[in-house]
Amino acid sequence: MHSGLTMITISQTLLSELQAHGVREFPHECCGAMLGEQTLNSETGDLTKQIIELIPIDNHWTVSDDDGFDKRRRFAIRPEDYQAVEKAAKAKNLTLLGFYHSHPDHPAIPSATDLKFAWPNFSYIIQSIITKVPAEIHSYVLDLDAGQFKPEGLEIYA
């Protein structure tokens, strides 16, 4: 829907929270919601999203869900948890910007599974955790026309 460039910003404090979540759950994938504010530059059409709060969510993937893989390679958020973060965003007058998850011992590159479940207009931050240490982190948005993810700018500020 949005056609300009998108950029998402996160403070070093929140980034540390996100990474600590990934380390805590290692070797399983962690997941959570990102609430914040969006600003559209009407001249350039560029959209900037500022993460204001992270909501860690339990990974409810079960092996029988799909393909035999467990939480080391998959995550799932329950519908009731999804509804709770939508309600939290509304109560705080914030926007649900998207979701983060970790890739344990794997690069921060979206997988076919990530793409299968991707929604438009959300940011998907992927944090790589290698042997329990945070590694690269990237953010992606779904490009509906191309049917694949495209990277978005991720700015970390002090």
CA-based radius of gyration for the chain: 15
Residue 47 within binding range of another protein, rule CB under 8 A: no
Q: Which residues, 61 to 120, sit near another protein by CB under 8 A? A: 61, 65, 69, 73-77, 79, 82-83, 86, 89-90, 95-96, 99, 101, 103-104, 106, 110-111, 113-114, 116-120
Nearest Cα to 32, choosing from 11, 53, 7? 53
Residue 34 within binding range of another protein, rule CB under 8 A: no
**Cβ 76 vs Cβ 60: under 8 Å:** yes
Residue 152 within binding range of another protein, rule CB under 8 A: no
Q: Which residues, 119 to 138, sit near another protein by CB under 8 A? A: 119-122, 124
d(CA 82, CA 86): 6
Q: How far is the CB of 70 from another protein (least distance, A)?
A: 10
Nearest Cα to 46, choosing from 138, 152, 120? 152
- The one-letter amino acid at 150: K
Return the DSSP state at 66: T
d(CA 158, CA 150): 26
Q: How far is the CB of 158 from another protein (least distance, A)?
A: 29
- Residue 19 vs 28, nearer CB to another protein: 28
Site residues for another protein per CB under 8 A: 1-2, 29, 31, 61, 65, 69, 73-77, 79, 82-83, 86, 89-90, 95-96, 99, 101, 103-104, 106, 110-111, 113-114, 116-122, 124
